[in-house]
């Protein structure tokens, strides 16, 4: 018999997190999250996402043992502002028992039907800065800190239960040593002269902070046309600023401004933290923080997290300036591999940025959807 219980207390939520550690304990490709960070994400008093969303975290039990988990989420900005009548699900993990998956999804359907919502989609988080999708290819590729790993049978469970593909994302990588910088160096010089643009480069985090709000505004503008996008609000901007920006190497954050010092493009790259997170195994202390700081300084992997260009300057070669600057930084740091985090298959503008880099698709992932009963 399968029993579903809502995880409410800190103890419940820690068990919710630790189930994934148990499920993937012998999997070399799964990257464990930091437990304290996950707890903060689920804390209604700390995560500003809860100001415009509600979420319920469910554990499935069989024979008094945890066998699955899911989060049922409604992003009310998505429902009320964007008029997308949708309930989300995320943070999904389960043993290979389709009845457990069905029981967990039923809790999501229940929430959607309670509010007369039309459809369900997942796995996705609260916002576009959360993790997304289940793997459908690339199960023997190392994950990273901004993606969920998933078992091959997740896809099969969803499809057998009547869910269908909603969106597909691709991830890829390329060797830094194979990059010829000559073409984008030439274009960069031309574009900067033609439009009066320049790159802002940083060595100290404190110098980045005055630009971060403008960067998030540009992020909202850049991604607004994607059908899955929900804008980041002011409270979330402050939260992400404090939580993430200070931990990213300042030299890995690039802003492009025009002659009036208005931001027209941005890019955020992170060091590869995968191996460090595996060594930390969910804990910052006593040694996890050391492993992360070591990776921040010495990682030979660069993970391209976000790139945004204002619509006015899209298709005008502005990204050549970004690539020129990153080539300098990556060369100085001895970067060997560049990784692209999940990009919507439909986002052809992003795909075109990388067409000259000899990229190799390493993973594909999907969100799945289903219409709810009216």
pLDDT in the model for residue 239 = 87
Question: What are the pLDDT tens digits along the chain (374 aa)?
Answer: 999 999 999 999 999 999 999 999 999 999 999 999 999 999 999 999 999 999 999 999 999 999 999 999 999 999 999 899 999 999 999 999 999 999 999 999 999 999 999 999 999 999 888 999 999 999 999 999 999 999 999 999 999 999 999 999 999 999 999 898 888 888 999 999 999 999 999 999 999 999 999 999 999 998 887 766 888 888 888 888 888 888 899 999 999 999 999 999 999 999 999 999 999 999 999 899 999 999 999 999 999 999 999 999 988 999 999 999 999 999 999 999 999 999 988 887 777 778 778 899 999 999 999 999 85
pLDDT in the model for residue 191 = 93
pLDDT in the model for residue 374 = 55
Question: Nearest 10 degrees: CA dihedral of 91, 338, 29, 57?
Answer: -10
pLDDT in the model for residue 246 = 81
pLDDT in the model for residue 274 = 95
Please give the backbone phi and psi of residue 121, each rounded to the nearest 5 degrees, phi first. -145, 145
Q: Which residue has the tokens 């030979």?
A: 300
Cβ-proximal residues to 136 (8 Å cutoff; 6+ apart), any chain: 155, 168, 364, 365, 366
How many CA atoms are closer than 13 Å to the CA of 130, on its beta-carbon side?
A: 26
- Long-range contact pairs involving 184-190 (C-beta distance under 8 Å, separation at least 24): 184/319, 184/320, 184/323, 184/324, 184/327, 185/320, 185/324, 185/327, 187/317, 187/320, 188/317, 188/320, 188/321, 188/323, 188/324, 190/317
């Amino acid at each position: 018999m399968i029993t579903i219980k809502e995880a409410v207390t800190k103890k419940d939520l820690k068990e919710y997190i630790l189930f994934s550690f148990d499920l993937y304990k012998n999997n070399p490709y799964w990257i464990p999250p930091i437990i304290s960070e996950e707890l903060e994400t689920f804390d209604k008093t700390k995560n500003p996402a809860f100001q415009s969303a509600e979420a319920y975290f469910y554990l499935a039990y069989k024979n008094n043992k945890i066998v699955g988990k899911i989060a049922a989420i409604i992003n009310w900005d998505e429902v009320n502002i964007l008029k997308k009548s949708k309930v989300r699900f995320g943070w999904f993990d389960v043993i290979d028992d389709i009845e457990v998956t069905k029981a967990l999804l039923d809790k999501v359907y229940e929430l959607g039907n309670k509010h007369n919502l039309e459809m369900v989609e997942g796995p996705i988080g609260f916002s576009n800065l959360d993790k997304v999708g289940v793997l459908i290819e690339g199960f023997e590729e190392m994950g990273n800190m901004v993606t969920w790993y998933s078992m091959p049978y997740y896809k099969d469970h969803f499809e057998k239960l009547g869910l269908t593909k909603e969106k597909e994302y691709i991830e890829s990588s390329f060797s830094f040593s194979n990059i010829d910088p000559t073409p984008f160096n030439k274009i960069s010089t031309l574009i900067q002269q033609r439009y009066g643009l320049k790159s802002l480069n940083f060595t100290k985090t404190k110098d980045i902070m005055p630009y971060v709000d403008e960067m998030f505004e540009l992020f909202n503008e850049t991604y607004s046309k994607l059908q899955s996008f929900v804008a980041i609000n002011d409270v979330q901007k402050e939260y992400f600023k404090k939580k993430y920006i200070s931990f990213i190497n300042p030299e890995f954050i690039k802003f492009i401004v025009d002659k009036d010092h208005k931001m027209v493009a941005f890019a955020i790259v992170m060091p590869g933290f995968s191996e460090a997170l595996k060594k930390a195994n969910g804990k910052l202390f006593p040694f996890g923080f050391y492993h992360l700081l070591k990776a921040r300084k010495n990682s030979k992997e660069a993970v391209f997290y976000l790139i945004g260009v204002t619509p006015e300057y899209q298709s005008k070669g502005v990204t050549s300036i970004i690539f020129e600057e990153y080539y300098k930084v990556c060369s100085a740091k001895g970067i060997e591999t560049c990784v692209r985090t999940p990009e919507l298959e439909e986002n052809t503008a992003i795909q075109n940025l990388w067409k000259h880099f000899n990229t190799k698709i390493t993973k594909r992932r999907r969100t799945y959807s289903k219409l709810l009963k009216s």
